[in-house]
Structure 1
Amino acid sequence: MGEGFRVSDIRQFRWSDYDRVVEVWRQSGADVLSRAELEAKLVRDPELFLVAAAGEDIAGVVLGTYDGRRGWIFRLGVHPGHRRRGVATRLIAELEVRFRALGCPRINLLVRPDNEAGLRFWQSLGYLTYPDVLCSKPVS
C-alpha cells in the first residue's frame, strides 16, 4: 500500500474498484458484498458508496444508503496499511456532506457490542449509542 493518501482522493465507487474494495473489506474484517448485491444497491444512491483512493490502491471504503427518512452507514473498512491516518474519519465526513445534501435528518449505524474500538471511533465523531434492539429476519 502506498503512502499517497490525500483528502481529494475520496470519491464515488467505480466498478473498476471492485476487486480492490473486496480486498479492503477482507483485510478489515468486514463482510464482502457480491457484485449482484452492489448492483441492486447502486440503483438507489450510488453517490453514497465512497472509496478513499491512494494512487492505484484503495485505502478505505464506506457504503451509505438513504431511504428518504434515515441515512445508514454500512461496511466501513480501512486497509491495515492505511490505518491511523484519518482515512475513516475523512470518508465519514464526506458521506455526511452527501447525506446533508440529500436532506437526510439523521444517520444510523450498527456496531457489534464487542467492538470497543469501533464504538469509541463512532462516539468520537458524535454518534450516540441507543438502547435499541436489533431484530432481523431472512426473507429467503
Structure 2
Amino acid sequence: MKIRSFRWPDYDAVAEVWAAAAREVVPRAELVRKLTRDPELFLVSLAGDRVTGVVMGTFDGRRGWILRLAVDPAHRRQGIAGALVRELESRLRALDCPRINLLVMPDNAAGLRFWQSVGYLPMPDVLCTKPL
C-alpha cells in the first residue's frame, strides 16, 4: 500500500470510492477550492495504481479536521483507514496543529468504534449547521 497526496487524475477513482462507501461525492468545483488551501491534506491510498481509500483533511490555523474518510469496501480490513489517518495526523502535526476534530453521524456505530480505536474520543458538542 502506498499513500500520497491526491492528484486530479485520481478524481474519478476517488469518486468511485466515495460512492462505493455510500458517501456523498464532493464535486470538482468544491475540491478546487479545497485544494487551493491545503492540498497536502487530501490523501489517497493505492494498491498498485488503484485508489483504495481516501481521506480529506483541513487546517484553519487553529484546529485540524478530518473529513471524508472512505475505503473501498473490497479493500476493507487491511489497515488502510488507519494508515490514512496516521499519515494525515503526521502532516497536521508538521503544520503545528494542536488538535484534530471530526464528525461521526450518530447512526454510524462502526465508524465510532473505528475512531475510538485510533484514539479519538466522543465529545458532547452540539453540531449546528446553516446552508448558504
Normalised-by-shorter TM-score class: over 0.9
User: Aligned to 2:9, which of 10, 16, 29?
Assistant: 16
Match in the other structure for 2:55: 62
1:136: how far off?
Answer: 0.3
1:31: how far off?
Answer: 1.1
Structure 1 gaps of 5+ residues are 1-5
Match in the other structure for 1:99: 92
2: CA distance, partners of 1:17 / 1:53: 10
2: CA distance, partners of 1:19 / 1:78: 15
Letter in 1 for 2:98: P
1:30: how far off?
Answer: 1.2
Structure 1 outlier segments of 4+, above 4 Å = none
CA RMSD of aligned residues (A): 0.5
Match in the other structure for 1:85: 78
Match in the other structure for 2:128: 135
1:55: how far off?
Answer: 1.2
Letter in 1 for 2:39: P
1:10: how far off?
Answer: 0.2
Give TM-score scaled by structure 2 length: 0.99
Give TM-score scaled by structure 1 length: 0.93
